[in-house]
Amino acid sequence: MRTTVPIAVAFIAGMVVAVSYFFADESAIGWLRLEFLVWLIIVGGMTLALGVVSIVRVNWDAVKKRKEGWPYKVLTLVSVFAMGVPAVLPESWSPLFGRNQGSIYEWLFTYLDAPMMATMFATLAFYIASAAYRAFRARNAEATVLLITATAVMLWRVPMGEAFLNLFPGDIPYFLNTYIMAGANMAVQRGIIIGAALGAASMSLRIILGIERTYMGRG
| DSSP secondary structure letters along 101-155 | TTSHHHHHIIIIIHHHHHHHHHHHHHHHHHHHHHHT--SSHHHHHHHHHHHHHHH
Q: What share of the chain is helix, strand, coil (3-state, %, to 5)?
A: 75, 0, 25
30 pLDDT band (50/70/90 cuts)?
confident
How far is Cα 216 from Cα 219, in angstroms, rounded to an integer? 8
Q: To the nearest whole percent, how much of the chain has pLDDT over 70?
A: 98
Instruction: Give residue-wise pLDDT tens across range 1-25.
Output: 677 888 888 888 888 888 888 887 7
Share the mean pLDDT of the chain.
Answer: 83
Instruction: Give residue-wise pLDDT tens across range 77-97.
Output: 988 888 888 887 877 787 788
- Cα-Cα-Cα-Cα dihedral sign, residues 92, 93, 95, 100: negative
pTM assigned to the model: 0.57
| CA 111 to chain CA centroid, nearest Å | 23
Instruction: Give residue-wise pLDDT tens across range 114-138.
Output: 898 899 888 887 887 788 777 777 6
DSSP 214: G
pLDDT recorded at residue 198: 94
CA R_g for the chain: 26
Instruction: Give residue-wise pLDDT tens across range 185-196.
Output: 889 899 999 999
Domain ranges of the chain: 1-83, 136-219
Q: Does position 59 have pLDDT exceeding 80, yes or no?
A: yes
Contacts of 219 (CB under 8 A, 6+ apart): 213
pLDDT recorded at residue 165: 79
Q: How far, CA to CA in Å, does 156 sit from each of 116, 144, 171? A: 28, 18, 11
pLDDT recorded at residue 4: 81
pLDDT recorded at residue 197: 93
Q: Do residues 204 and 197 make contact, with C-beta atoms less than 8 angstroms apart?
A: no
